[in-house]
Structure 1
Amino acid sequence: MIGIPHRRKRFEIIHELPRRIRFKSLIMLTPTLDLNYLQASVESLSGVKSVRINGPAFTLVVEYDGSPAVRAAIIKTLQFIPDEAFLDNNEKKHDVDLFDVGARTAVAAATPFLPVPVQAATSWMLAIPGIVQGLETLFTRGVKIEVLDGTVKTLSMLRGDYFTSNSVGALLSLGEYLEDQSEQKSTDLLKTLLKPQVDKIWIEQDGREIEIDFKDLKVGNIVICGPGELIPIEGTIIEGDGSINQSSITGESVPVHLQPGDATLSGAVVEEGTLKIRADKVGAETGMARINRFLESSLRSQSKSQVKSAELADKLVPLTFGAGLGVYALTRDAARAASVLTVDYSCAIKLSTPVATRTSMYTASQAGVLLKGGQALDNLAAIDTLVFDKTGTLTKGELKVTDLVPMPLFSEEELLSIAAGAEEHYAHPVARAVVNEAKERDIALPDVGGVDFIVAHGVSAYVDGKRVLVGSQHFVEEDEKVNCAFMKKKAQQLRNAGKNLLFVAMNEKLIGLIAMRDELRPEALEALEAFKAAGIKRIEILTGDHRSTALALAAQLPPVDAVHWELKPEDKAAIVKDLKKGGAKVGFAGDGVNDTPALVCADVGICMPSGADLARESAQVIMLNEDMRTLVEARRIAVNNRETLSSCLWSAVVINSATLLLAGMGKISTLAAAMTHNLSTVGILGYAALKTSNTTYKAEPLESAKETT
């Protein structure tokens, strides 16, 4: 592996202040080292304020809160750089700094006033590295921009035009510096999203399951993870077995079956089963997988539009080179040929795409939506159909208990206590409603063990040694064979009132019903109308609710074109697939484990901030707050990005074609052509960044949303 030998090369502290450390290491000269990854791995540590990398000086400066624990974590992170930080095809940046730009500019300005021998010696010294790089590129990668630059310098030097050679070199240096700064700025903006999330976690302690802050987790604790939950630690399974989705880490789409004795990866998601995992690594030690996933999806990977732009840019370089050779063959004018060769379409086309894309992604995050990579941005711009799961998306997902209907021999308090005890572990709007109602009534919850989540059906748990079932009528009556006939009439009355029902059974006998109601989001109608106005042709609602509840909701939302009720998870995915078969570009918005199949098969999956871990992992787009209008803004940003890239492409083609024509006709000098090309490239990059950095709507995240990000 590429990274293994480099793990032994440590960073050396060369200067330190109470809240600032400067490190140095020759490992930064390694061509395959991804400096973005290195910077992000340190920036993600809690307590680190900023990280600045100086590639040419192979130094790294870290500003932090000054605590010994954070200092130790920084040093440990830099001592053990994982394999993921090294890329086989990593392209090093220009590594041009302001000193280099200033020095080249000063030499170019002084050239006319120097003796000819000094001009020649100085100019050849500055030109040879570029000429050598051009030759190396020609034989290893073909005709690229380095070949054009090297040829221009060679022609100018052979003609004895030292001023032009040095001036072109200074302009190229300035252009490279500004291009690097533009791209790095957009990358830095995006990497600010890498700060660790703050989560709660369930552990087993003294035979009881308790909830603690993730930051309080210690090595050796027994962590409990159920279906749909993300495994937050690297550890060893000591009890239980299940199907684990590791695709976000390993890239392997097929879930793996793990059992006692097997190791778990931080960031994997439990699809089926409940696991008890001994924590072997906690805190910063588990952060690398998350960082790598983010960088792979958001920084390293390229969208289809980025790939197409890069391919087009590479194809245009040989055309420019051919035009230069053609001009020289026709005119025998080396100066005119050099002027043509300074015109390069590829810079503006190739660089404007990552600048605009990353800036758009950051702008969307500021508006309240996290996009997992450039492809998510492209897909969001392309959709013409939106499908919403009802609960937690168009509705608040803040269900409120309205009725408690216990069977004889049970009180309302007993029914609620038993149900809330079983549901306390489950991150779902229904579960939260039951637990919140118990807390509001100040009802103590019993000790619970053996919790098992049955996706889209309900929860099974042991309360005081008795098996409790909480879930839908289908789950309790049909799957678990509990007689619910006594409540049939009452259940129908509650459903006719538009309420959702929860059936509660203990030791295979029904002990009562819990009815609750969900409210429509206040901005839902406004958001749906805005989607229709913005070009979304069709909007549909999917729900597992009964027909009466679903139709009552749809009646409040005129923009909705269709509503589907009493659906299973596979039914939701089937509807999305049918829409795609009909030619629609579909976006699906959901938040539960049962929404995962639809999130995966949609053109773009959208997850709410309070969504289950499996839903967040499966989605391409994650909302950072509960306001649906932020999703409308995110799509506007995506469409704006697409239009900006189109404008950049045509601007580059028009400006460079005009410059190429004038250069070929001998109307402008080599220096003027180089200046026009470089200034236009910088201008296009500036336009791309500026045009994609504006958001017209920004909602403040809710506290719950802040915790999930």
Structure 2
Amino acid sequence: MTSCPSKRTASMDENINSSFKVVHELSNRLRLRSNRLYDPALDLSYLEAVIGAISGVEKVRTNKRAFSITVNYNGSAEIRNKILETLESIPDEAYLPEVSHNEPARLSTVAYQAATTAVTPWLPSPLKALSSWMIGTPTMAEGIKSLVTEGVKVEVLDASAVAFSLLRQDYFTANAIVAMLGLGEYLEDWTEQRSNDLLKNLLRPQVENVWVERDAKEQKIPLDKVLIGDIVLCGPGELLPVDGTVIGGEAALNTSSITGESIPVHVEEGDEVLSGSVIEEGHLRITASHVGSDSSMARIGRFLENSLRSKSSSQKKSDELADKLVPITFALGLGLYALTRDVTRAASVLTVDYSCAIKVASPVAVKSGMFAASHSGVLLKGAQALENLSKIDTVVFDKTGTLTRGDLSVTDYIPLKGLNEKELLALAAGAEEHYSHPVARAVVAEAKSQKLQFPPISQVDFIVAHGVSAFVEGRQVLVGSRHFLEEDEGVDCSAADNLTTELRQSGKSLLYVSRDGELEGVIGLRDELRPEAAEALSQLKEKGIKNLIMLTGDHRDTAKAICAELGVIDKVHWELKPEDKARIVNELQEEGHFLAFAGDGVNDAPALISADVGICMPQGAELAREAAQVVLLEDSLMALVAGRHIAEQTQKVIKNSFNAAVGINSAILLAATTGKLSPVASAFLHNSSTLGILGYAASAARREAPQSYSL
């Protein structure tokens, strides 16, 4: 039953008639046609992924020969409009002229080739010759094109084998070679497409929520509910979800994902901002001018570009070797013919090709490994991230939120002068109430749980990584680290020395509270270790990680107490400032370590980028998630252990596939050279081994981590 589009939809169809035209429509299915789909620079897999990323789209399929794209969706008029809008403005990233896009093999063509081959022995001679030349001509034409444009590639080998057989009127052999080539190509395309589809499903964006100001109230709503004109609120570490104009606040904006500019840009009221930028410092109120799926598409685009297009360094080396082997096979076949004048033997040699199995098995294994990793709670942004994760020998952990839960709780509040316990807690909570730091949240939560009345606060000043300064009834109150109070503000904290030593040795962090230059008391906080942390670190050691290093801003005694609980930490750096993390990572790399850095905060981003593998926890700040190459999807360090295991397993599969491709094809080539294999048998063995290797790469790499690594 065909549905009737609304006036708004019909108008939209008219707007894109120049590019895409709806040629058939059901209530939940669209088929559109456009000459743009025949553009050789258009990456159809990428376009399918962009459309598939739209919430409500269930399936996408393109047909280049028919210039069409078919989309199954949930039947919503809103989703239909989004599909049409997206096709109207295909992102520039979908066009990559330097990428080769071969037309995928069609099952109908393969069936026709197989049927013709089967009946060839019983056809009359004239019809046998005509049908064989018709079937073989496309293969030979592709070989000539490849020879002229790219040099001696696998297409030249295939064309030569078919041409030799046709010229000696061995039509059955020629047709059989073409049919096996077609079947092999179809199954290779099918295997790789299955791997791509797995990743496309993985990368569908989850529903994202944003804060907006409506009717003078702040509301948290889904991103797809944001309307043009809404006031969107964004803070430090957050990705801007819309394009718009700043109407309040100021911020340092990281626009590197859009412009490539690494230096943060200062924006203030009146400036235009783009979705995809990240706030490094400050807060913004933005009037939305462009809404919809822009930011989701940008993020999906970046992930897809890494995972579906990029190759790791080992993959590139394998591809280069495979390309170098093709001319050797070609020269061997021609040389053999020149020496023996045996066309059959030369054709047998030319049907053997190393590059198919080598080039296709590696990306199939990588994508299958990435799929397995996702099911074990790990999102890998590309082949290089997977390879690097298998090679690391050192893991550097930022303590808070990584080895610990990052959910601080107040354990002690000890007054040292005239205040009682509740007065001390209320004073600290009042000063910290509007600060978003985890320490501040813990103090405020404890005070609220005791239903304490906060004193009136004025002139609040937040000092990043140090503490808070505020005025209470005209008296200055400082809340923060000992370094902040004693060294920066001149407050004598020695009265708490005996007390604080005992607290730190039990693994607690300390918050100092002063009023008018006098130390009023100390608040103890505890960040509980993740229950799986010790076991996860032990298993990482078993998986070949030689060095486990912890970074923390805590006092030495607190840091040592935590290390004692974990038991397997090799080295700890304490009392660090945020900028120290990247410095330590760089120093370790200079010492020759290949390392991963695991963190979750905005200030972890430089270290995440500097490390060979940046690992972000699932609840990490948006800036940290963008900077990391690996994002844990499950809130457990056991996901990291599973990711390491799958990365190693995938690299083993790639190595085994490479060795099998070289070994098996060398044996076939030797047999063909000595005349022990006919061209048909040689082609059959070559294609069968290639498909076997692909099957192994897809299934072995897709195995999830053992139960011992389960979350």
> What TM-score results when the alignment is normalised by the length of structure 2?
0.89
Q: What amino acid does structure 1 have at the position aligned with 2:403?
A: L
Q: Residue 112 of structure 1 aligns with which residue?
A: 121
1:134 alignment partner, one of 127, 138, 143: 143
Find out whether 1:402 has 2:411 as its counterpart: yes
Please report how far the alpha carbon of residue 404 of structure 1 lies from its aligned counterpart in structure 2 after TM superposition. Answer: 4.7
Q: Residue 688 of structure 1 aligns with which residue?
A: 697
Q: Structure 2: any 5+ residue segments left out of the alignment? A: 1-14
Please report how far the alpha carbon of residue 176 of structure 1 lies from its aligned counterpart in structure 2 after TM superposition. Answer: 0.5
Please report how far the alpha carbon of residue 134 of structure 1 lies from its aligned counterpart in structure 2 after TM superposition. Answer: 1.0
Q: Residue 434 of structure 2 aligns with which residue?
A: 422
Find out whether 1:322 has 2:322 as its counterpart: no
Residue 219 of structure 1 aligns to a residue whose secondary structure is coil
C-alpha contact (below 8 Å) 1:591/1:610 kept by paired residues: yes
C-alpha contact (below 8 Å) 1:596/1:615 kept by paired residues: yes
C-alpha distance in structure 1 between counterparts of 2:492 and 2:280, whole Å: 30
2:586 alignment partner, one of 577, 585, 592: 577
Q: Could you list the per-position Cα deviations for residues 496-548 of structure 1 after superposition, in whole angstroms to 9, with x for gaps in the alignment? A: 54322345789999987653211111111111111111111111111111111
C-alpha distance in structure 2 between counterparts of 1:449 and 1:209, whole Å: 23
C-alpha distance in structure 1 between counterparts of 2:137 and 2:457, whole Å: 75
Please report how far the alpha carbon of residue 85 of structure 1 lies from its aligned counterpart in structure 2 after TM superposition. Answer: 1.2
C-alpha contact (below 8 Å) 1:236/1:261 kept by paired residues: yes
- Give the number of equivalent residue pairs: 693
Q: Could you list the per-position Cα deviations for residues 56-100 of structure 1 after superposition, in whole angstroms to 9, with x for gaps in the alignment? A: 333322222222222221221122212121111131133212111
> What TM-score results when the alignment is normalised by the length of structure 1?
0.89
Distance 1:463 1:639, change over 3 A: farther
Q: Residue 705 of structure 1 aligns with which residue?
A: none
C-alpha distance in structure 1 between counterparts of 2:515 and 2:275, whole Å: 36
C-alpha contact (below 8 Å) 2:388/2:613 kept by paired residues: yes
Distance 1:512 1:83, change over 3 A: farther
Q: Residue 306 of structure 2 aligns with which residue?
A: 297
C-alpha distance in structure 1 between counterparts of 2:92 and 2:707, whole Å: 38
Find out whether 1:12 has 2:24 as its counterpart: no
1:266 alignment partner, one of 246, 266, 275: 275
Within a 5 Å distance, the mapping from 1:550-561 to structure 2 comes to 550-561=559-570
Please report how far the alpha carbon of residue 142 of structure 1 lies from its aligned counterpart in structure 2 after TM superposition. Answer: 0.8
Please report how far the alpha carbon of residue 319 of structure 1 lies from its aligned counterpart in structure 2 after TM superposition. Answer: 0.9
Q: Residue 384 of structure 1 aligns with which residue?
A: 393
Residue 568 of structure 1 aligns to a residue whose secondary structure is coil
Please report how far the alpha carbon of residue 437 of structure 1 lies from its aligned counterpart in structure 2 after TM superposition. Answer: 4.2
Q: Could you list the per-position Cα deviations for residues 341-360 of structure 1 after superposition, in whole angstroms to 9, with x for gaps in the alignment? A: 11000000011111011111
Distance 1:154 1:690, change over 3 A: same
C-alpha contact (below 8 Å) 1:274/1:452 kept by paired residues: no
Distance 1:219 1:467, change over 3 A: farther
Q: What amino acid does structure 2 have at the position aligned with 1:674?
A: A
Within a 5 Å distance, the mapping from 1:382-531 to structure 2 comes to 382-404=391-413, 408=419, 411=423, 414-415=426-427, 418=430, 421-423=433-435, 426=436, 429-430=438-439, 432-434=441-443, 436-437=445-446, 440=449, 455-457=464-466, 471-475=480-484, 481=489, 483=491, 485=493, 488=496, 494-502=503-511, 514-531=523-540
C-alpha distance in structure 1 between counterparts of 2:84 and 2:176, whole Å: 44
Distance 1:431 1:298, change over 3 A: farther
C-alpha distance in structure 2 between counterparts of 1:124 and 1:463, whole Å: 94
C-alpha distance in structure 1 between counterparts of 2:318 and 2:460, whole Å: 51
Please report how far the alpha carbon of residue 450 of structure 1 lies from its aligned counterpart in structure 2 after TM superposition. Answer: 11
1:678 alignment partner, one of 687, 692, 700: 687
C-alpha distance in structure 1 between counterparts of 2:284 and 2:710, whole Å: 32
C-alpha contact (below 8 Å) 1:422/1:459 kept by paired residues: no
Distance 1:463 1:379, change over 3 A: farther
Find out whether 1:545 has 2:557 as its counterpart: no
Q: Could you list the per-position Cα deviations for residues 8-43 of structure 1 after superposition, in whole angstroms to 9, with x for gaps in the alignment? A: 843222222222222232221111111122111111
Find out whether 1:44 has 2:53 as its counterpart: yes
C-alpha distance in structure 2 between counterparts of 1:453 and 1:123, whole Å: 81
C-alpha distance in structure 1 between counterparts of 2:524 and 2:349, whole Å: 76
Q: Residue 8 of structure 2 aligns with which residue?
A: none
2:368 alignment partner, one of 350, 354, 359: 359
Name the % identity: 53
1:248 alignment partner, one of 257, 260, 284: 257
Distance 1:227 1:435, change over 3 A: same
Find out whether 1:188 has 2:197 as its counterpart: yes
C-alpha distance in structure 2 between counterparts of 1:487 and 1:619, whole Å: 43
Q: Could you list the per-position Cα deviations for residues 345-396 of structure 1 after superposition, in whole angstroms to 9, with x for gaps in the alignment? A: 0000011111011111111011001111111111100011111111111112
Find out whether 1:32 has 2:32 as its counterpart: no
Q: What amino acid does structure 1 have at the position aligned with 2:201?
A: T
Farther off after superposition, 56-65 or 250-259: 250-259
Distance 1:163 1:469, change over 3 A: farther
Residue 617 of structure 1 aligns to a residue whose secondary structure is helix
C-alpha distance in structure 1 between counterparts of 2:394 and 2:257, whole Å: 27
1:75 alignment partner, one of 73, 76, 84: 84
Distance 1:517 1:537, change over 3 A: same
Q: Which of the pair has more CA radius of gyration?
A: 2
Residue 227 of structure 1 aligns to a residue whose secondary structure is coil
C-alpha contact (below 8 Å) 2:466/2:480 kept by paired residues: yes
C-alpha contact (below 8 Å) 2:491/2:514 kept by paired residues: no
Q: What amino acid does structure 2 have at the position aligned with 1:422?
A: H
Please report how far the alpha carbon of residue 458 of structure 1 lies from its aligned counterpart in structure 2 after TM superposition. Answer: 5.1
Q: Residue 651 of structure 2 aligns with which residue?
A: 642
C-alpha distance in structure 1 between counterparts of 2:602 and 2:467, whole Å: 12
C-alpha distance in structure 1 between counterparts of 2:456 and 2:272, whole Å: 29
C-alpha distance in structure 2 between counterparts of 1:68 and 1:553, whole Å: 56
2:109 alignment partner, one of 100, 112, 122: 100
Computed over aligned residues only, the root mean square deviation of the Cα atoms, in angstroms, reads: 3.3
Residue 398 of structure 1 aligns to a residue whose secondary structure is coil
Find out whether 1:344 has 2:356 as its counterpart: no
Q: What amino acid does structure 1 have at the position aligned with 2:338?
A: A
Residue 280 of structure 1 aligns to a residue whose secondary structure is strand
Q: Could you list the per-position Cα deviations for residues 134-164 of structure 1 after superposition, in whole angstroms to 9, with x for gaps in the alignment? A: 1111111111111111111111111111111
Residue 569 of structure 1 aligns to a residue whose secondary structure is coil
